[in-house]
Amino acid sequence: MDEYNRFVDWDKMDVTVQSQDAKELTCTEFQELKQLARQGYWAKNHSLRAKVYHKLISSIPCRTVTPDANVYRDIVVKIVGKRNSSCLPLPEFVDNSLVPTYCLNAEGIGAVRKIILCIANQFPDISFCPALPSVIALLLHYSKDEAECFEQVCRILACNDPSKRLIDQTFLAFESSCMTFGDLVNKYCQAAHKLMVAVSEDVLEVYSDWQRWLFGELPMVYIARVFDVFLVEGYKVLYRVALALLKFFHKVRAGQPMESDSIQQDVRAFVRDIAKSVSPERLLEKAFAIRLFSRKEIQLLQMANEKALQQKGITVKQKRQNVHLAVHAENFKSEIVSVKEMRDIWSWIPERFALCQPLLLFTTLEHGCSLSRFYSHSEGHEPTLLLIKTTAKEVCGAYLSTDWSERRRGGNKLSFFGTGECFVFRLQPEVERYEWVIIKHPELATTGSEPENHALLASSTLSSDSVPSDPSDRLSPFLSARHFNLPSKTASMFMAGSSECIIIGGGDGQALYLDADLNHGRTSHCNTFNNQPLCSESFQISVLEVWGFRD
């Protein structure tokens, strides 16, 4: 253990890592490594963890010219000189991030800044990397000297395997990851998301902290366990753990008053003090119990978010779009929902569209109850938001991801289309957002059939029934096929439209059916999860509105 203790303050370190017998790691198979990492096989032996980190990082495919330990020895004196390392200014790309000390001694704390400056010298293309100080500080615990730590970090930064994403190095990548995390929270942590919306003026700002929770606030023993798995499985692990942190925060703090004036500060404090309520093993257990989408599907969502940011010119750091700014009180007028209710809906939609403002496209009060006029005003807009108020004062609606013009592919027949980002919701009498499901057996849903035939629905979970078996044909449930030139035949179907009716497959067994005159509607509810129905089984429409998204 002596060769890896140069930068460690053992008075701060978990004592169990000093007493465990040395072990060896001989396996090379991914699945076995994955299991061992998750089980914490090398977590209880400092020297073994150091050797495993070196082995895993050495296997990362890198650019041909990647700075190594010798480069560090050549440049460190020239860059740092005789300045006190603890006072060295950090480059802008770390964005005033926390520089965690973890269990480092004084020499280790100073070494973090020296290594950051040398990396800035060797990687001029890095423009935004707030996780870097934490990664360096962590790896210093398991390095023989500064040069070895520098080389390991460089290999992580220089990874050139397109399928192996590791650390965000630009603001575009970082911001899109925050948006992707927000999308995942919206799907997998709905109770926590509801709390965030209720107590935060800018929920997006809260979610932009997700990497800071991991690389800054988490105590040493926790982030080390996360990093064990991260080096084996990659970036997706970070999303898992951040989602688990949010779930535990909601479980522990739900119903309690806020400890500060900011939910953002409360979450940070909870993560810092997580040892009071959750063990590292329990945190990872919760993280891996989440049935997260595949790497391919998350990558597609990340690409879509990056594209949305690029289209709006958001590629360098600036203030995030506030949800309250997206729905301007003075410019918004609806006969169905209030500004507050529209902001609640805005918190549910995909992050890349939350950057936009609502634009009224169609209302039965002005355009009449004509399905053809509904189509003519809605076509050319993607996505759209459908709002319905019934004569019984029930309010429900749907977020529709795909342009209604797609219905024409089926000619005069009822044509099914859409993506897994579609969802239905209820605002009155109670607020409820229903997860998406796939409409199955579209051949049964003819225009003359009973609504029961239109509502054959599948569970919203990603099971073998909801995606094609051939991995090469799998499509993200979030995104349209044409966005990525993927085979359209594999696209899931959530919307349907013809000249005689509209059908929207909602969530948890909910389906919405509207007649051609837009005066009458029906719902179907399978009681799969015992949820309350979207609205009355049969209802009269008082007002119907369609909203688009304006840049």
pLDDT averaged per 10 residues in sequence order, the chain, 551 residues = 84 69 71 91 91 94 93 94 80 84 93 95 93 96 96 96 88 92 91 87 87 96 96 95 96 77 90 95 96 86 87 65 56 89 85 86 94 94 94 91 87 77 84 60 35 33 32 38 40 75 68 86 57 75 93 75
CA angle centred on 366, ends 364 and 372, rounded to 5°: 55
Q: What's the CA gap between 368 and 518, in Å, rounded?
A: 9
Same domain (yes/no): 149, 224: no
CATH code at position 213: 1.10.472.80
Assigned domain for 154 exists: yes
Range of the structural domain that residue 276 is part of: 170-319
Tokens of 448: 């003359």
Domain boundary among 163, 182, 207: 163
Tokens of 425: 């919701």
Please report the pLDDT score of residue 20 as a whole number: 55
Instruction: List all residues 6 or more positions away from 320 whose beta carbon is below 8 Å from its beta carbon.
Output: 175, 202, 204, 205, 208
Alpha helices (H) in 355-436, listed in sequence order:
364-367, 371-378
Same domain (yes/no): 136, 282: no
User: Could you tell me if residue 386 is left (phi over 0), alpha (psi between -120 and 50 degrees) or otherwise beta?
Assistant: beta
Same domain (yes/no): 183, 112: no
Q: What's the CA gap between 146 and 66, in Å, rounded?
A: 16
Assigned domain for 465 exists: no
Cβ atoms < 10 Å from Cβ of 17: 22
Assigned domain for 392 exists: yes
Phi and psi for 156 in degrees, rounded to 5? Answer: -65, -40
* DSSP assignment of 483-549: GGT--GGG----EEE-SSEEEEE-STTEEEEEETTSSEEEEEE--SS-PPPSS-SEEEEEEEEEEEE
Tokens of 373: 């006029």
Please report the pLDDT score of residue 215 as a whole number: 96
Assigned domain for 334 exists: no
Same domain (yes/no): 418, 344: yes
Please report the pLDDT score of residue 343 as a whole number: 83
DSSP state of 214: I
DSSP state of 78: H
Instruction: List all residues 6 or more positions away from 256 whose beta carbon is below 8 Å from its beta carbon.
Output: none
Same domain (yes/no): 179, 156: no
Tokens of 430: 């109670």
Domain boundary among 113, 143, 163: 163
Q: What percentage of the chain's residues is helix, strand, coil (to nearest 5)? A: 45, 15, 40
Assigned domain for 1 exists: yes
Assigned domain for 451 exists: no
- For residue 429, whether the previous peptide bond is cis, meaning omega lies within 30 degrees of 0, is yes
Assigned domain for 12 exists: yes
Q: Which long-range contacts (CB under 8 A, 24 or more apart) does 263-267 make?
A: 263/195, 263/196, 263/199, 263/200, 263/206, 264/200, 264/205, 264/206, 264/209, 267/206, 267/209, 267/213
* Helix and strand counts by DSSP (H, E) for the chain: 22, 11
Same domain (yes/no): 244, 151: no
Same domain (yes/no): 300, 347: no
Please report the pLDDT score of residue 23 as a whole number: 66
Structural contact between residues 361 and 369, judged by C-beta atoms closer than 8 angstroms: no
Assigned domain for 110 exists: yes
Tokens of 475: 């499509």
Same domain (yes/no): 151, 280: no
Nearest in space to 350 (alpha carbons), one of 386, 292, 290, 308 = 308
Same domain (yes/no): 12, 27: yes
- For residue 280, whether the previous peptide bond is cis, meaning omega lies within 30 degrees of 0, is no
Same domain (yes/no): 186, 306: yes
Say what the pTM is.
Answer: 0.75
Structural domains counted in the chain: 3
Same domain (yes/no): 116, 210: no
